[in-house]
Structure 1
Amino acid sequence: MAGMQEERGPGPRRAWRYGPPWWGRAGTGPEAGTARWPWRSTALVTAFVLVGSGFAAHGQPHREQLDGFARVLLLAASVVLLWRHRLPVAVTFGAAAATLVYLAAGYPYGPVFLAVAVGCFSAVVSGHRRAAWASVGLLWAGHALVAMWLYRWLPPPGDRAASVSQELAVAAWVPAVAAVSELARVRREQWTRDRAERARAARRRADEERLRMARELHDVLAHSISVINVQAGMGLALLDSDPAQARAALTTIKAASKEALGEVRQVLDTLRAPGAAPRAPAPGLGRLDELAEQAAAAGLTVEVAGEPPELPPGTDLAAFRIVQEALTNVVRHSGSRHARVRLENAAGRLRLRIDDDGPATGADTGGSGNGLAGMRERAAALGGTIEAGPRPDGGFRVLAELPLRTREDR
């Protein structure tokens, strides 16, 4: 039946319509369900309560002397704390009930209240604030009833009524215990939130690192494979008619694949050993001439205008990859065999403009591929912008603006 939970045991089955009763509810803190049994602290509290109550009895001869029943009640109030992490509600009420019976029987006041304080503390920390307040409040109300009215019929004989001021002084300990418990609960919740935030930040950094690696691999492989594809097609076409030119195409393929393998190995080495120094410097705008030579091997003439300024390593790499991806798109998606790369330094920003005269070829010329998305992500990560699209007079233009200094470099 929906909404019902069954508890099975050696006896007959018992169904609870609205979940387990209050005495069977487990804690909701981080330790609930997986907490270790608090053997040491419970043994320490039990020993303190038993020994301390013995000493307290010597100073209160007018109260009933400790006997077997008194020690059973002291043990019950203390040993029940062994379940305080698993059943905090039942424990706090159990400790309060055993303590109230102990006091109503006329036994000496003493450290038995420590067991109640520990039970209340555990209930508040585990999220059962109302149960903790209710148990301590009922204990105080029961004690006030015994001390101010029922003392006539309860031991010890000849006991006198307690004054209102005495009961108010006892009641002052209730908010003190609750306040300490609330402070511990708030600190624990803050610690849990901080730990979760650190875990989320670590996962976010790992995701960003994986994305960066994927972007690097895409840019390296897309450019190199485009060059290899063009040269392989040229080599096949000229294999019979012009063997020398075919051999040159194969030489270009070998050089492009070797360089791609080197860059891929460098990226993967960084992935395997985070924080390790790269074996080779990261590419930058200082290698534009090499990029132009690779494009020339694929049949694309590249004209470079402007001098690259001094850039931080991250910006330098991003600028190089943007130019590389733009030239790769020209090779793959444009009928033009001529491209122009212009570098400008204006108002603390680097402007990169890559133009080709078109016309566009193929079905993927709309600028929605992963290459353009990767360029936009690189620029956005540095606080820059990318504009890419057809020119009014034909052809295609990629215009990137990158800050010469990022926030990390200032």
Structure 2
Amino acid sequence: MEEQRTPRSPARSGPPSWRRHGPPRWNRWSWNDEERRAHWPWRSTLLMTAFVLIGSHFAAHSQAGDRVQLDFFAWALLLVGSALLLWRQRHPVLVAFGTAGAGMVYLGAGYPYGPVFLIVAMGCFSAVVAGHRKAAWTAVGMFWAGHALVAHWLYRWLPPTGDQPASWGQEGIIATWIVAIVALSELVRVRREQWAHDRAERAEAARRRADEERLRIARELHDVLAHSISVINVQAGVGLALLDSDPEQARTALTTIKAASKEALGEVRQVLDTLRAPGEAPRAPAPGLGRLPELVEQAAGAGLTVEVEGEDDIPKLAPGTDLAAFRIVQEALTNVVRHSGSRHARVRLESAKGALRLRIDDDGPATGADAGGSGNGLAGMRERAAALGGTIEAGPRDDGGFRVLAVLPLKVKEDQ
């Protein structure tokens, strides 16, 4: 019995992500949650620890005789409380309660007042900024309540010996500092949430622009390739049919194929150039109704006779409207070549009541189930018209033919 092998997961194929996209860029303003948790704040924790230890040493000298002098247990509490700040981005809730607890034990043991308050403030500040507001408030409230309990009731049984109750004015100052720290924490949290919201909106706008650009390029490529390949397909069939009986006509068909493929390659290259060099001006102007004679000539090469009416009465159009009108006519003629048995089509152009009307008719009959086309062609025409605030009507006529009627808002290009 053959051993069955599990197919390799596609996700593991190819080079690692850091080789495909380059090394990660550490930007402190664009960290996501996983990156933030993976970050260890070594520098700030070391600076805070040094400040707390040095500041507590000077505070002990200034409060000598009033508070218990620092001993091994006091230094251990200060070191533990400061070291907990190293985990403030990974476990902010535990750090908030841990620093508050260390501060309560420190003050309850009668050690000097000093930078120990900064440890508690930093732990609760990090919790609020991380979004754990209730936990931070609870830790701050626990610390303040513990301090008030020690300063006004438990001082009788706790060191230093002969200690007096603290004044309520001092409690008011401590409460003010606590409120200020909480308010600052909330301000920073709100600002960070706003920054995150702005970044998300910018990213969404960039994705939307990218999607719109992809849709535009796909529509352009479809319009270019569908028309040219239809002409090439028809002429290739003619060339194959006449290769032996009429070599001269076959040569003409091959010449038409060469011209159509060359033009298609040129337009495809122009579209792709916008991808390779974004922001640069295109090398060739965008097609418009001024190129209708070329379109008629290409259609003639595919065996379709096209009559154009009203071309000289159309004023200069805005580039977007001009391009959309040309592509709509191009797609309509392509559908005639591919889906109609008629070898004659009529294009009628007229401008009236602030709108450009395009009407493309053929006499049919349909050569397949999809008369007039039913795929991306008609959808692309409707999208182009809708983008300009216009409309497209496409469907069979009563006499058996097919008609495409487009109405586009007329935006006259001002002469410079």
Q: TM-score range by the shorter chain?
A: 0.7 to 0.9
Instruction: Report if aligned partners of 1:84, 1:91 keep a CA contact under 8 Å in 2.
Output: yes
Instruction: Report if aligned partners of 2:37, 2:89 keep a CA contact under 8 Å in 1.
Output: no
Q: 2:364 aligns with which of 358, 365, 374?
A: 358
- Using the TM superposition, give the Cα deviation of residue 32 of structure 1 relative to its aligned residue in structure 2, in angstroms: 6.1
Q: Which whole-Å CA distance do the structure 1 matches of 2:129 and 2:180 have between them?
A: 15
| 3-state DSSP of counterpart to 1:101 | helix
Q: Which whole-Å CA distance do the structure 1 matches of 2:87 and 2:37 have between them?
A: 12
Q: 1:73 aligns with which of 70, 77, 97?
A: 77
**Structure 2 partner of 1:174:** 178
**Structure 2 partner of 1:401:** 407
Paired letter, 1:314: G
Instruction: Report if aligned partners of 1:31, 1:85 keep a CA contact under 8 Å in 2.
Output: no
| 3-state DSSP of counterpart to 1:350 | strand
- Using the TM superposition, give the Cα deviation of residue 337 of structure 1 relative to its aligned residue in structure 2, in angstroms: 1.7
Paired letter, 1:182: E
| 3-state DSSP of counterpart to 1:398 | strand
Q: Which whole-Å CA distance do the structure 2 matches of 1:351 and 1:37 have between them?
A: 66
Q: Which whole-Å CA distance do the structure 2 matches of 1:356 and 1:29 have between them?
A: 59
**Structure 2 partner of 1:217:** 221
- Using the TM superposition, give the Cα deviation of residue 288 of structure 1 relative to its aligned residue in structure 2, in angstroms: 0.3
Instruction: Report if aligned partners of 1:318, 1:378 keep a CA contact under 8 Å in 2.
Output: yes
Q: Which whole-Å CA distance do the structure 2 matches of 1:364 and 1:353 have between them?
A: 20
CA RMSD of aligned residues (A): 2.0
Runs of 4+ in 1 over 6 A off after TM superposition: none
**Structure 1 partner of 2:332:** 326
Deviations 1:234-283 (A, max 9, x none): 22333333332222222111111111121122222222222232222221
Which region of structure 1 is more displaced relative to structure 2, 247-256 or 56-65? 56-65
Q: Which whole-Å CA distance do the structure 2 matches of 1:315 and 1:51 have between them?
A: 74
- Using the TM superposition, give the Cα deviation of residue 375 of structure 1 relative to its aligned residue in structure 2, in angstroms: 1.0
- Using the TM superposition, give the Cα deviation of residue 60 of structure 1 relative to its aligned residue in structure 2, in angstroms: 2.3
| 3-state DSSP of counterpart to 2:200 | helix
Using the size of structure 1 for normalisation, the TM-score is 0.87
Pair 1:112–1:65, CA change in 2 (3 A): same
Deviations 1:196-248 (A, max 9, x none): 22222222222222222221111111111111122222223333333322222
- Using the TM superposition, give the Cα deviation of residue 139 of structure 1 relative to its aligned residue in structure 2, in angstroms: 0.6
**Structure 2 partner of 1:14:** none
Q: Which whole-Å CA distance do the structure 2 matches of 1:260 and 1:32 have between them?
A: 48
Q: Which whole-Å CA distance do the structure 1 matches of 2:99 and 2:35 have between them?
A: 20
Aligned pairs (5 A) from 1:224-243: 224-243=228-247
**Structure 1 partner of 2:351:** 345
Segments of structure 2 that go 5 or more residues without pairing to the other structure are 1-30
Aligned pairs (5 A) from 1:6-25: none
**Structure 1 partner of 2:132:** 128
| 3-state DSSP of counterpart to 2:33 | coil
Segments of structure 1 that go 5 or more residues without pairing to the other structure are 1-27
- Using the TM superposition, give the Cα deviation of residue 31 of structure 1 relative to its aligned residue in structure 2, in angstroms: 5.3
**Structure 2 partner of 1:24:** none
2:193 matches 1:189: yes
Deviations 1:273-317 (A, max 9, x none): 222322222211100011011111212111111233212222222
Q: Which whole-Å CA distance do the structure 2 matches of 1:133 and 1:399 have between them?
A: 67
Which region of structure 1 is more displaced relative to structure 2, 289-298 or 395-404? 395-404
Which region of structure 1 is more displaced relative to structure 2, 150-159 or 273-282? 273-282
**Structure 2 partner of 1:38:** 41
Q: Which whole-Å CA distance do the structure 1 matches of 2:131 and 2:174 have between them?
A: 25
Paired letter, 1:30: D
Q: Which whole-Å CA distance do the structure 2 matches of 1:226 and 1:176 have between them?
A: 74
**Structure 2 partner of 1:83:** 87
Instruction: Report if aligned partners of 1:29, 1:125 keep a CA contact under 8 Å in 2.
Output: no
Q: Which whole-Å CA distance do the structure 2 matches of 1:316 and 1:165 have between them?
A: 79
2:292 matches 1:314: no
Which region of structure 1 is more displaced relative to structure 2, 282-291 or 272-281? 272-281
Q: Which whole-Å CA distance do the structure 1 matches of 2:34 and 2:265 have between them?
A: 50
Pair 1:405–1:114, CA change in 2 (3 A): farther
| 3-state DSSP of counterpart to 1:54 | helix
**Structure 1 partner of 2:100:** 96
**Structure 1 partner of 2:308:** 304
2:290 matches 1:258: no
Q: Which whole-Å CA distance do the structure 2 matches of 1:363 and 1:118 have between them?
A: 73
